[in-house]
Amino acid sequence: MKHVLVVFGTRPEVIKLAPVVFALRARPGRARVTLCSTGQHRALLDSALGAFDLKPDHDLAVMQAAQHPADLFGRLMLALRPLVDELRPDTIVVQGDTSTVAAAALTGFLCGVRVAHVEAGLRTRDRRAPFPEEVDRRVAGVVADEHFAPTARARDNLLREGVPPETVFLTGNTIVDALEWMRARVADRPLPPHLGADARRVILVTAHRRESFGPPLRELCLALREIAERFEDVLLLYPVHLNPNVQRPVRELLGDCPRVRLTEPLAYDDLVAVLNRAELVLTDSGGIQEEAPALGKPTLVLREKTERPEAVAAGVVRVVGTDRRRIVAETSRLLSDPDAYRAMARAVHVYGDGLAARRICEVLLDGRMTTPAFEPRA
């Protein structure tokens, strides 16, 4: 029986690893699964665990207020090594591009344990955009033994970096597995009134990236205010990240705007329900860049660069940065021009087909992928 240690520290990691956990647990005679939470983002992490009915076997509780990435990385390494030495798993599974991912991957390598990286190979080629995620995922890419690439572009990135081809598997992204699972759960659920269940056109907004702290986030907020003032039939729903660097400017600049509704971060089931209801999406989130296209929601990316260009190439996502004038212009065009809106309001399946977790489970337990590799459908 293979012992698999699944390590996560943030909400996106839980969402994207939950399908892998379910797939492994469906083979009880072949896999023993241990869940380890680092607690990197405590409040958001716990809500995601609850949405998938998951409970960690170990909680390292590394979260501290206003933590510096360097201090966090050190605490993660110090907390993970004794646990890995105690459990001696066959494989450590990590997902994505957080400090938890880099620290767990490096710990596994130094302790002589195999490392499997889910959502491997995403790159912007700019070490500071996104920061520190671009370096986190490159660290994992250097030490991982199995690389589960969500797209052909991600696979090719790894091959160009010299990763052995026999260790790279084109699986699709597990976010589509999770989205399909949760969408079925919330299909008949009405939105609560505070989440915009009225007749207005709902724009879902998420913005919390570290590289946007300061003037870029203020510019973004001013753009949202202008959009709200320009379109009386629109409601901008903005679940605000708990980081004070986000909370302060957002509430200062948007707190009194009647057509902007600021809420606490949403549980994943509520987020999926809002995505189903939304007219369009403004986001700097990696996961939402993958989910919204699968639901046919036009998406404007509030970043200067994206490591997820597949939906951009398909014409359903556009990168607009944090410049106020450009955000207002692009959003206004989608709200005012039906032809422009219809051109982007198409469901595309460029990130996954709902079978990614099955493919990953096959590799973890059998060393090979028997389900055919993921092929996108635009």
Query: Which residue in 13, 42, 117, 119 is the catalytic one?
Result: 119
Query: Which residue in 13, 97, 177, 211 is the catalytic one?
Result: 97
Q: Is 208 a catalytic residue?
A: yes
Residue 76, both tokens? 């993660």
Q: Is 133 a catalytic residue?
A: yes
Q: What is the spatial order of strands in the sheet that 260-263 belongs to?
A: 260-263, 234-239, 201-206, 280-283, 299-301, 317-319
Residue whose tokens read 């659920």: 189
Q: Is 97 a catalytic residue?
A: yes
Residue 340 vs residues 216, 229, 344, 345: alpha-carbon distances, Å: 26, 21, 7, 9
Residue 103, both tokens? 């620290």
Burial code (b: 16+ CB inside 10 Å, e: under 16) for 220-238 equals bbbbbbbbbeebeebbbbb
Q: Give the H or E element holding residue 148.
A: strand 146-149
Q: Is 210 a catalytic residue?
A: yes
Which runs of consecutive H residues, i.e. helices, occur in the chain?
Answer: 11-25, 42-51, 69-87, 99-110, 133-143, 152-160, 174-186, 215-230, 244-254, 268-277, 286-294, 310-313, 324-336, 338-344, 356-366
Q: Is 3 a catalytic residue?
A: no
Query: Which residue in 208, 209, 303, 359 is the catalytic one?
Result: 208
Cα(170)–Cα(149) distance, integer angstroms: 5
- What region does 293 belong to: left with phi over 0, alpha with psi -120 to 50, or beta? alpha
DSSP secondary structure letters along 103-147: HHHHHHHHTT-EEEEET-----S-TTSSTTHHHHHHHHHHH-SEE
**At 232, which amino acid appears?**
E
Q: Is 349 a catalytic residue?
A: no
- What region does 172 belong to: left with phi over 0, alpha with psi -120 to 50, or beta? left
Query: Which residue in 81, 185, 210, 218 is the catalytic one?
Result: 210
Query: Which residue in 153, 155, 225, 241 is the catalytic one?
Result: 241
φ, ψ for residue 239, nearest 5 deg: -70, 115
* Active-site annotation, residues: 97, 119, 133, 208, 210, 241
